[in-house]
Amino acid sequence: MTGNLHAGALLLAAAPIGRPEDASPRLREALSAAPVVAAEDTRRLRRLAGDLGVAVTGRIVSYYDQNEASRATELLAELLAGRDVLVITDAGMPGVSDPGYRLVREAVAHDVRVTVLPGPSAVTTALVVSGLPTDRFCFEGFPPRKAGERSRRFAALADEPRTMVFFEAPHRLAATLEALAEAFGADRPAAVCRELTKTYEEIRRAPLGALAEWAADGVRGEITLVVGGAPEPAGLSDPADLAAAVADRVAAGTPRKEAITAVAKENGVPKRVVYDAVVAAK
For residues 237-262, give the mean pLDDT: 90
Mean pLDDT of the region 231-256:
86
For the stretch 210-219, pLDDT in tens is: 999 999 999 9
Instruction: Please indicate, yes or no, whether residues 111 and 186 belong to a single structural domain of this protein.
Output: no
> What does the pLDDT read at residue 281?
87
Query: Which pLDDT band, with edges at 50, 70 and 90, does 234 fall under?
Result: low
Tell me, yes or no, whether 1 lies in a domain: no
Mean local confidence (pLDDT), 259-267: 88
Q: Are residues 135 and 108 in the same domain?
A: no
Same domain, 35 and 62: yes
Element (H, E) at 167: strand 163-168
Domain assignment present for 211 = yes
135 is a domain residue: yes
Q: Are residues 71 and 143 in the same domain?
A: no
Give yes or no: residues 157 and 223 share one domain.
Answer: yes
Q: What's the confidence (pLDDT) of residue 268?
A: 79
Strand partners, 226: 165, 191
Q: Which segments of 14-65 are extended strands (E)?
A: 36-39, 59-62
**Per-residue pLDDT for 235 more than 80?**
no
Residues 29 and 93 in one domain: yes
Residues 108 and 143 in one domain: no
What share of the chain has pLDDT > 90, as a percent?
85
pLDDT at 233: 66
Q: What is the pLDDT of residues 67-103, one digit of tens each?
A: 998 999 999 999 999 999 999 999 999 999 889 999 9
Is 69 within a domain?
yes
Q: What is the DSSP letter of 93?
A: -
Strands (E), the chain: 10-13, 36-39, 59-62, 85-88, 114-117, 137-141, 163-168, 189-194, 202-207, 223-227
Q: Is the pLDDT of residue 44 over 60?
A: yes
How much is the pLDDT for 257? 93
The residue-averaged pLDDT of 24-51 equals: 95
pTM for this entry: 0.79
- Average pLDDT, integer, range 33-44: 96
Strands 163-168 and 59-62, sheet pairing: unpaired
Q: Is residue 183 part of a domain?
A: yes
Average predicted confidence (pLDDT) for the chain: 93
pLDDT tens digits for 135-181?
999 999 999 999 999 999 999 999 899 999 999 999 999 999 999 99
**Residue 208 counted as domain residue:** yes
Co-location of 195 and 147 in the same domain: yes
- Tell me what the mean pLDDT of segment 278-282 comes to: 88
Enumerate residues 6+ apart whose C-beta is below 8 A from 257. Answer: none
Number of domains in the chain: 3
Average pLDDT (218-243) is 88
Query: What are the Cα distances from residue 112, in Å, to 5, 46, 182?
Result: 8, 27, 46
The candidate with the shortest Cα–Cα distance to 228, out of 186, 263, 267, 191, is 191
Rounded CA separation 175/221 (Å): 16
Instruction: Check whether 2 has a pLDDT greater than 70.
Output: no
Residues 79 and 27 occupy one common structural domain: yes
Report the DSSP beta bridge partners of residue 192: 204, 225
Q: Residue 99's domain spans which residues? A: 10-120
Q: Verify that 257 and 198 share a domain, yes or no.
A: no
| DSSP three-state, residue 16 | coil
Longest dimension (CA), the chain: 80
Do 133 and 221 lie in a common domain? yes
Task: Answer yes or no: is 233 within a domain.
Answer: no
> Is the same domain home to 161 and 199?
yes
C-alpha distances out from residue 84 to 11, 16, 205, Å: 8, 22, 43
Whether 232 is covered by a domain: the verdict is no
